[in-house]
């Protein structure tokens, strides 16, 4: 169902994105070692990743870096090693598992269900090396990969080593343009271990007006609900082609709400969701929220945003400190930096901070 609010997993539930999907498939089949899928929240990165992994006839594992981070407060490489090994051996006949794991330290098989367990001495590079040596191609997909930064492990070094030495392994990483690509992987920075490594970048854009309307029409047709064209126009005007929000609106109507109520509920839910996601940054400093409020109220230039925040705080702020605040907001996709200044890329995020 197009309006199912969970990340999609089946191709028939994924509207559009044909081009991006075939680019991922083509790249992986050709053996491109690193595919990077970029886009702001709720444009469908996880959905596209799920569908791509289902469609590509190559063994793969999907790791949700944000989930591991929220579990451990960091992204330990031992956790990745365990997830990868469990997934890799899922289809291996029991009597062969020991053989597959040969030479990897810190792994044991035990319990009633012959469960695979790892301890602290397991090493991710050893795991990757072993899997590579077994001769089958393997795809490691890491969703929200910018969360890998929260770790002692040097993931960019590890990935660049794997790219150079482990020909059977490919990575697909999803995340944000600035947070993942420029800040964490630093793929265009000559000082970075990943600089100059073969890779493919795929950017997810919002739907255009035509696609947004078409998505809604198809979604409503699928669930057999008749809707007015003006209602759809209004929804598209307000949600700016962000498929995650269009989906939630459709889902609210599927649950029986009227147009007005569905839109109202979407905005309320979105606000709660957005402020909840934002609370981590806010815990670091209340200044993040004030800067968002300033931009939401129509300030866009660095200087005018700073002045507005200073007014709210009732004190002067150091320039460098303020630049850090704005850079972090860009890094986490709450702001977008253009030649005209700083903007909020999602209308419901803007609304949440008004």
Q: Interface with Mg ion by CB under 5 A: which residues?
A: 45-46
Nearest to Mg ion of 46, 247 (CB atom): 46
Nearest to ligand ADP of 109, 204 (CB atom): 204
Half-sphere exposure of 347 (CA within 13 A, CB side): 15
Partner from ligand ADP, Mg ion, none binding residue 290, C-beta < 5-8 Å depending on class: none
By CB under 6 A, name the one of 28, 35, 43, 52 that touches ligand ADP.
43
16 near ligand ADP, rule: CB under 6 A: yes
Nearest approach in angstroms of CB 157 to ligand ADP is 26
7 near ligand ADP, rule: CB under 6 A: yes
Q: What gap in Å lies between CA 315 and CA 321, rounded to an integer? A: 13
Contacts 24+ apart (CB under 8 A), 113-120: 116/82, 116/85, 116/86, 116/89, 117/82, 118/78, 118/81, 118/82, 118/85, 119/78, 120/78
4 near ligand ADP, rule: CB under 6 A: yes
For 268, left (φ over 0), alpha (ψ -120 to 50), or beta?
A: alpha
Q: Which residues contact 87 (CB under 8 A, 6 or more apart)?
A: 60, 61
For the record, the structure tokens of 327 come out as 């850079």
Partner from ligand ADP, Mg ion, none binding residue 171, C-beta < 5-8 Å depending on class: none
Nearest to Mg ion of 175, 193 (CB atom): 175
Alpha-helix runs per DSSP H in 189-301: 209-223, 229-239, 243-254, 259-284, 287-296
41 near ligand ADP, rule: CB under 6 A: yes
Contact 36, 179 (CB under 8 A): no
Partner from ligand ADP, Mg ion, none binding residue 42, C-beta < 5-8 Å depending on class: ligand ADP
Partner from ligand ADP, Mg ion, none binding residue 167, C-beta < 5-8 Å depending on class: none
2 near ligand ADP, rule: CB under 6 A: yes
Nearest to Mg ion of 46, 252 (CB atom): 46
17 near ligand ADP, rule: CB under 6 A: yes
Q: Report CA torsion sign: 226, 229, 231, 234.
A: positive
14 near ligand ADP, rule: CB under 6 A: yes
Interface mask (CB under 6 A) for ligand ADP, residues 218-247, using x and -? -------------------------xx--x
Q: Report CA torsion sign: 113, 114, 120, 123.
A: negative
Q: Report CA torsion sign: 172, 176, 177, 180.
A: negative
Partner from Mg ion, ligand ADP, none binding residue 43, C-beta < 5-8 Å depending on class: ligand ADP
Helix (H, G, I), strand (E, B) or coil at 169: strand
| Residues that bind ligand ADP in the complex, under the rule CB under 6 A | 2, 4-8, 14-17, 39, 41-47, 243-244, 247
């Amino acid at each position: 169902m197009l309006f199912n609010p969970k990340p999609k997993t089946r191709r028939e539930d994924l509207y559009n994105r044909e081009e991006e999907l075939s680019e991922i498939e083509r790249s992986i089949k050709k053996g491109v070692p690193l595919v990077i899928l970029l886009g702001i929240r709720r444009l469908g990165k996880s959905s596209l990743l799920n569908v791509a992994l289902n469609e590509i006839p190559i063994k793969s594992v999907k790791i949700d870096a944000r989930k591991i981070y929220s579990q451990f407060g960091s992204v330990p490489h031992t956790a990745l090693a365990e997830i990868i090994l469990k997934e890799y051996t899922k289809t291996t006949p029991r009597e062969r598992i020991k053989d597959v794991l040969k030479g990897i330290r810190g792994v044991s098989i035990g319990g009633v269900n012959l469960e695979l367990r790892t301890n602290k001495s397991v090493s991710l590079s050893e795991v990757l090396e072993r899997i590579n040596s077994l001769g089958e191609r393997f795809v490691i997909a890491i969703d929200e990969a910018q969360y890998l930064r929260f770790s002692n492990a040097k993931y960019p070094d590890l990935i660049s080593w794997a790219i150079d030495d482990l020909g059977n392994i490919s990575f697909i990483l999803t995340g944000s343009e600035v947070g993942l690509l420029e800040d964490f992987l630093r793929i265009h920075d000559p000082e970075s271990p990943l600089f100059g490594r073969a890779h493919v970048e795929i950017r997810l854009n919002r739907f255009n007006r035509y696609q947004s309307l078409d998505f809604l029409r198809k979604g409503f047709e699928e669930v057999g609900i008749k809707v007015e064209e003006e209602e759809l126009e209004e929804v598209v005007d307000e949600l700016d082609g962000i498929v995650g929000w269009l989906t939630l609106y459709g889902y609210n109507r599927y649950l029986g709400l009227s147009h007005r109520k569905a839109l109202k509920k979407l905005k309320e839910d979105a606000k709660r969701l957005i402020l909840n996601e934002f609370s981590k940054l806010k815990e670091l400093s209340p200044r993040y929220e004030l800067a968002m409020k300033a931009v939401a109220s129509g300030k866009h230039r660095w200087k005018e945003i700073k002045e507005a925040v200073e007014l709210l705080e009732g004190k002067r702020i150091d320039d460098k400190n303020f630049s850090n605040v704005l850079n972090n907001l860009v890094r986490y996709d709450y702001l977008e930096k253009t030649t005209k200044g700083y903007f909020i890329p999602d209308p419901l995020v803007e609304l949440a901070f008004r």
